[in-house]
Structure 1
Amino acid sequence: MMDQVAAGVYQLRIKRFVNVYFVETGTPGEWVLFDTGLPGSDKEIIAAADKLFFPGTRPEAIILTHGHLDHMGSAKELAAHWNVPVIAHPLELPYVTAKALYPPSDPTVGGSLAFMSRFFPKQLPDLTDVVEALPLGEEHPPYLAQWRWLHVPGHAPGQLAFFREADRTLLGGDAFATTNHESIPAVLLGIPEISVAGSPFNYDWAQCRQSVQTLADLNPAAIGCGHGPVIKGPAAAAGLRKLADNYQLPAQGRYLAEPARTDASGVEHLPPKPVDKLPKQAAAIGAGLLLAGATWLLVGGRRKKPKHPKPAKSYASTRHAKPGHRPGA
């Protein structure tokens, strides 16, 4: 599904869950791709680009808002297909070059996404051969002189957002979401609602809240995020301001009292790992089912064998009996 965020900015929703963006540079025929979706999304993205621009088109570069798997999953394939670089904040490089792992997800924070996070892969594709560091000394991202980038950490160490001042268009990455991440129907149906994004992956809640406040101060007129539909008009700024002013922290979680700390090489410090009750509960349920199965087999094996009826007398034993004579009489 393709939607227009603003002039020269288009959102492609992949599998109703994750978004990528085609952003024109201002020069006819030139554009940049923001994020690459889940692994296996490359053909869908290429087909959308060919339809949006012209067959055989390619971007000037691929820019990642951050390196989580649902944002960089197809970067390696797309970079090879188009022969273009992938650009990310320097603090993301350890993770997208397989030198480090992100802070572990926190399934104890609660919610449907937290439950599923237990099963998400931790290792990412290695982009060493194609990735380049965003030039931090430049206010504008490469090829996009009308835009400026903002560092908005908390969800990922080098997470980026992008803002075009001319029409107040904001691409927020996963600093927040434009749908309720904790509602599976809302995500699948694309119901618009500015909300906290990616709770089980937020390793520093103070930074997450500050990042939302920074972006709310931009007073955006159009918003596109990593997850959720496009939101335009007064609802964009009002919804983001409401989230910033009433940012709800989770009631529990590993990173609530103490954040993870990261540096240029990866994770420097992690708070203690909380007790995750689900594996024990799952083990208990499994043991119970196993015990029930063993009991059923044991009891079933000891059941009394059904009594067989006595065999009927054969025809041979009766066919010679005299009329009126009962056999055995």
Structure 2
Amino acid sequence: MNQVAAGVTQLQIQRFVNVYFVESANPGEWVLVDTGLPGSEQAIIAAANQLFYPGTHPTAILLTHGHMDHAGSARALAEHWQVPVLAHPLELPFLTGRAVYPPADPTVDGGGSLAFVARFFPPQSFQLTDVVQPLATTDNDVPYLPGWRWLPVPGHAPGQVALFREADRTLLGADAFATANHESVPALLLQRPQISVAGAPFNYNWPQVQESVQRLAALQPQAIGCGHGPVISGPAAAAGLQALADNFPMPAHGRYVAEPARLDEAGVSYLPPAPPDALPRQAALVAVGAGALLAAGALAYFWNRPRPSHGSARKRRPRGPYRFNEDPENPFPAYPYKEVYF
């Protein structure tokens, strides 16, 4: 576990996904921010017991958005702790099984290794109807966390929110950006600090992503924790985020670059057409080519292999002899003595 700021602790799960334990100003109370991938509940419960005391539970679980790596263990933890799950109303269609998020874009420019694996991600949606509650939008106060406010940061998910504590300028940025190169698996595994774009294949509205980064950079945070990457604090936090805002790397091409998807309180209302994805065709051509090479190699082997001359035959060297029914204690041998060669 890593400390982001006073009363804010980051837990890294599988060196890829982060969740946060945020203590309230009220003694003994805390909130869990995000829940990691499905199956992360035991690691989160064990960390909470270690950080606070055995059997502890939060006042609530707050989801920055409903993607699988943030909401994956929400039901298991809500049922274990018997606490509500809070999320922005625009995330509810995806958290109550009424809609799925826009498809990932594996063709996006600069998507890196994440774009490749995005082809195999299942449609993202959860059924949390009986445990999830809408985050109040009448103000920006974070329930159960006095001194914190939430900010809308759409583009990656329609109801994605970041959390900010003005007193010490602590920012939990969700997937509005990342604190490691999200498009490089080695960079994520090594946890090299680098403020960068997060989840490019899953960003459905690139202008909104840019606006969200600019909105958060204006806060001049002094400590940052995001959904992916290590903690960054001190002058590097504000400087790195401002550099990303000033030099935002808008992709040159991709499904949602020129024309974003449109989402509303019911889910997805419009999807731009998917551009051609060359990789499946290339993979098929590689498979066909590999099969042809294997077939040609097999044909050449059998065509050129040595053949015995006409009339010659390999003599089989006998192994044995093996004697059957030669047991002197058997008074009723079924057959006479034989020698058999294999």
Q: Give distance in 2, aligned partners of 1:297 and 1:235.
A: 60
AA of the residue aligned to 2:105: D
Asked whether the 8 Å contact 1:76–1:125 carries over to 2, the reply is no
Quote the residue 2:121 is aligned against.
120
| Residue 321 of structure 1: aligned partner | none
- Is 1:168–1:218's contact at 8 Å kept on the other side of the alignment? yes
* Identity, % of aligned positions: 65
Q: Give the match's secondary structure for 2:32.
A: strand
CA distance in 1, matches of 2:131, 2:83: 8
Aligned residues between the structures:
312
Contact 1:98 1:123 (C-alpha < 8 Å) held by counterparts: no
Shift in Å at residue 305 of structure 1?
6.3
Give the structure 2 partner of residue 154 of structure 1: 155
Structure 2 Cα separation of the partners of residues 184 and 219 of structure 1: 28
Q: Deviations over 1:78-123 (max 9, x none)?
A: 1111011111101011111121111111000141111111111214
Offset at residue 5 of structure 1 (A): 0.6
Offset of residue 312 of structure 1:
9.7
2:279 aligns with 278
Deviations 1:195-243 (A, max 9, x none): 1111001111100000001001111111100001111111111111111
* Correspondence for 2:241: 240
Q: CA 1:312/1:208 → structure 2, altered by over 3 Å: closer, same or farther?
A: closer
Q: Partners of 2:282 and 2:185 in 1: how far apart?
A: 23
Match of 2:54 in 1: 55
Q: CA deviation at 1:138?
A: 2.8
* CA distance in 2: counterparts of 1:139 and 1:125, whole angstroms: 25
Map of 1:41 onto structure 2:
40
Distance 1:61 1:88 in 2: 11
SS in 1 for 2:219: coil
Aligned residue number for residue 318 of structure 2: none
In 2: Cα distance, 1:150 partner to 1:312 partner? 85
- Between stretches 179-188 and 72-81, larger displacement belongs to 179-188
Give me the whole-angstrom Cα distance separating, in 2, the residues matched to 1:292 and 1:115.
26
Q: 1:304 to 1:4 in 2, by over 3 A?
A: closer
Taking a change above 3 Å as real, the CA distance of residues 223 and 311 of structure 1, as seen in their structure-2 partners, is closer
Tell me the distance in 2 between the aligned counterparts of 1:295 and 1:247: 51
The Cα of 1:183 is off from its aligned counterpart by 2.1
Q: Give secondary structure in 2 for the equivalent of 1:108.
A: coil
Cα distance per residue 1:259-285 (max 9 Å; x no partner): 000010011111111000001111111
Q: How does 1:36-185 map to 2 (within 5 A)?
A: 36-109=35-108, 110-185=111-186
What is the alpha-carbon distance in structure 2 between the residues aligned to residue 164 and residue 22 of structure 1? 14
- Tell me the CA shift for residue 257 of structure 1: 0.5
Counterparts of 2:84 and 2:313, CA distance in 1 = 87
- Output the CA distance in 1 between the equivalents of 2:2 and 2:251: 32
For 2:207, the equivalent position in structure 1 comes to 206
**Which amino acid in structure 2 is aligned with residue 179 of structure 1?**
A
Cα gap change, 1:298 to 1:234, in 2 (>3 Å): same
Say if 1:311 and 1:205 are closer, same or farther in 2 by CA, change over 3 A: closer
Tell me if the contact between 1:42 and 1:77 (Cα under 8 Å) persists in the aligned partners: yes
C-alpha distance in 2, partners of 1:13/1:123?
Answer: 22
Tell me which residue corresponds to 2:339: none
Asked if residue 9 in structure 1 is aligned to residue 8 in structure 2, the reply is yes
Rounded Cα–Cα distance in structure 2 between residues aligned with 1:171 and 1:311: 81
Q: 1: CA distance between counterparts of 2:100 and 2:126? A: 11
State the 1:129 CA deviation.
1.6
Matched position secondary structure for 2:151: strand
Which amino acid is 2:151 matched to?
L
Q: Distance in 2 between the 1:159 and 1:60 partners? A: 21
Residue deviations 1:121-173 (CA, integer Å, cap 9, x gap): 21433111211110111321110121000000000000000000111100000
119-128 or 233-242, which deviates more: 119-128
- 2:26 is aligned to 27
Q: Distance in 2 between matches of 1:175 and 1:93?
A: 19
Return the letter of the residue paired with 2:159: G
CA distance in 2, matches of 1:157, 1:219: 24
CA distance in 1, matches of 2:162, 2:237: 15
CA RMSD for the aligned pairs? 1.7
**Quick one: distance in 1 between partners of 2:93 and 2:165?**
29
Q: Tell me, yes or no, if the aligned pair for 2:31 and 2:60 is still in contact at 8 Å.
A: yes
